[in-house]
């Protein structure tokens, strides 16, 4: 218990030092742990988890002897304390996923290039971010498939909404959706990527964000952060639909029939409408408390913000000159249904540290322990 408490205290201290810098420009700062970075905190959690799992080993009754408390982010209650070690395991996996998402997003901050041109994100960083998004999805997938089933139904109802199955699934799908978004951006920059490849990526992105929205839609998210999370998913879902309809329209326009040209116009008009809606959704997200600034466009949407209005106006004018109004479809054609290619990395809970195998392990004094942390 002393080792468990020491490892958890290390996590709490490092998280406390890291949290105030999240919204600022990243700078390494010297601490008693040699520089509290996201990577250091992630390593501290990895060191903690094998010791923590000793409390639940082989259904041990020790799992009920320690009360763990976490500050909530999206739940109405400020904190949740539960005397069950599986709650702590679930919270640790959630935090590991959040740290991974933060690491990926930091890699995607545009950097000033050596040649003095506009700040941009290197291809190396984009590829690395996709790997980290998949790792984050793996932690959340493990939480849903292997940890949540350990909770009886009555205890599941006591979990904060931050750890509700719908939120965990939505976060997993969100990570995958962001990964595909980066892949689409790289395809746009590649001369070798065909329209078919770009359309497929955009359509897959729509499915990830739609499923994320379906999972989070009816949950009682509160505290500002919860509503902001919901608005973020809505924004990215609409943005994905704009991209998918745009590339679908371009491919349809390659057809040689009046029908295909009419469908192309309808698809491009839908892309333009979704693009306009995505800008409104972005503004709603940034205006929601806690307020956030509207960042400059980059990546996929920077490219599409120029192409969608221009190509839509051009194609609509040309086709309406060629065909009568009746030949132009007034409703958007159905998007192609592609199977989803990106899957979460497989993450397995680590083996329990050997010290739990000693014969003198007992829980006589454990019930007095109360360990508290903060959810990110």
Domain ranges of the chain: 1-17+34-111+119-163, 193-338
Higher pLDDT, residue 284 or 112? 284
Q: What percent of the chain clears pLDDT 70, i.e. is strictly above it? A: 85
pLDDT category at 223 given cuts 50, 70, 90 is low
* The two domains 1-17+34-111+119-163 and 193-338 share their CATH topology (first three levels equal): yes
Q: Which residues of 298-317 are buried (b: 16+ CB within 10 A; e: fewer)?
A: bbbbebbeebbeebbeebbe
Per-residue model confidence (pLDDT) at position 321:
57
CA 193 to each of CA 25, 98, 185, 210, 308: distance values in angstroms, whole numbers, following the listed order? 34, 32, 11, 25, 18
pTM, to two decimals: 0.88
* Cβ atoms 283, 294 nearer than 8 A: yes
Per-residue model confidence (pLDDT) at position 24:
37
- The rounded distance, in Å, linking the Cα atoms of 117 and 229 is 34
pLDDT of 355 above 80: yes
Query: In the predicted model, what is the mean pLDDT of residues 192-208?
Result: 97
Q: Indicate the class that CATH gives domain 193-338.
A: mainly alpha
- Strands 79-82 and 370-374 come out as unpaired
- Give kind and range of the element (H or E) at residue 66: none
Those residues whose C-beta lies under 8 Å from the C-beta of residue 315, and which sit 6 or more positions away, are: 249, 253, 264, 265, 268
If you search the block for the tokens 């259904």, which residue do you land on? 59
Those residues whose C-beta lies under 8 Å from the C-beta of residue 342, and which sit 6 or more positions away, are: 134, 176, 179, 180, 183, 204, 208
> Could you read off the pLDDT of 46-82 as tens digits, one per residue?
999 999 999 998 878 888 988 999 999 888 889 999 9
* Cβ atoms 214, 156 nearer than 8 A: no
> Could you read off the pLDDT of 297-315 as tens digits, one per residue?
888 999 999 999 998 888 7
> Could you read off the pLDDT of 121-139 as tens digits, one per residue?
889 999 999 999 999 999 9
φ and ψ of 71, to 5 deg: -75, 140
- Calculate ∠ Cα 244-249-254, nearest 5°: 135
Per-residue model confidence (pLDDT) at position 328:
45
pLDDT category at 279 given cuts 50, 70, 90 is very high
Higher pLDDT, residue 11 or 324? 11
* Cβ atoms 43, 35 nearer than 8 A: no
- Half-sphere exposure of 258 toward its Cβ, with a 13 Å CA cutoff? 9
* Cβ atoms 224, 78 nearer than 8 A: no
**Percentage helix, strand, coil for the chain under 3-state DSSP, each rounded to 5:** 65, 5, 30
Under CATH, what is the fold of the domain 1-17+34-111+119-163? Answer: 1.25.40
Higher pLDDT, residue 87 or 363? 87
């Amino acid at each position: 218990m002393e080792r468990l408490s020491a490892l958890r205290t290390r996590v709490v201290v490092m998280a406390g030092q890291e949290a105030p810098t999240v919204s600022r420009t990243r700078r390494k700062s010297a601490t008693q742990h040699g520089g509290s970075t996201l990577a250091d905190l992630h390593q501290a959690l990895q060191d903690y988890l094998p010791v923590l799992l000793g409390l639940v080993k082989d259904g041990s009754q020790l799992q009920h002897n320690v009360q763990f408390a976490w500050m909530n982010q999206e739940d109405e209650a400020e904190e949740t304390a539960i005397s069950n070690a599986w709650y702590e395991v679930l919270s640790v996996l959630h935090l590991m996923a959040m740290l991974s998402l933060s690491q990926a997003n930091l890699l995607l901050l545009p950097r000033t290039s050596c040649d003095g041109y506009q700040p941009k994100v290197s291809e190396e960083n984009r590829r690395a971010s996709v790997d980290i998004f998949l790792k984050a999805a793996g932690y959340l997938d493990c939480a849903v498939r292997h940890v949540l089933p350990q909770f009886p139904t009555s205890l599941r109802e006591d979990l904060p909404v931050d750890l509700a199955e719908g939120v965990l699934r939505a976060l997993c799908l969100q990570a995958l959706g962001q990964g595909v978004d980066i892949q689409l951006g790289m395809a746009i920059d590649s001369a070798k990527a065909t329209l078919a490849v770009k359309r497929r990526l955009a359509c897959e992105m729509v499915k990830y964000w739609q499923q994320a929205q379906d999972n989070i839609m009816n949950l009682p998210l509160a505290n500002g952060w919860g509503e902001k999370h919901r608005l973020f998913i809505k924004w990215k879902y609409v943005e994905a639909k704009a991209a998918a309809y745009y590339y679908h329209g371009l491919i349809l326009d390659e057809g040689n029939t009046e029908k295909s040209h009419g469908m192309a116009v309808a698809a491009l008009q839908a892309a333009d409408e979704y693009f306009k809606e995505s800008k409104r959704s972005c503004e709603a997200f940034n205006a929601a408390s806690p307020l956030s600034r509207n960042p400059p466009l980059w990546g996929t949407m920077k490219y599409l913000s120029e192409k969608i209005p221009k190509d839509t106006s051009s194609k609509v004018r040309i086709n309406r000159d060629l065909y009568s109004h009746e030949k132009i479809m007034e409703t958007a054609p159905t998007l192609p249904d592609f199977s989803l290619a990106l899957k979460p990395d497989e993450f397995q809970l680590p083996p329990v540290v050997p010290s739990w195998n000693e014969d003198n392990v007992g829980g006589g004094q454990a019930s007095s322990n109360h360990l508290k942390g903060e959810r990110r």
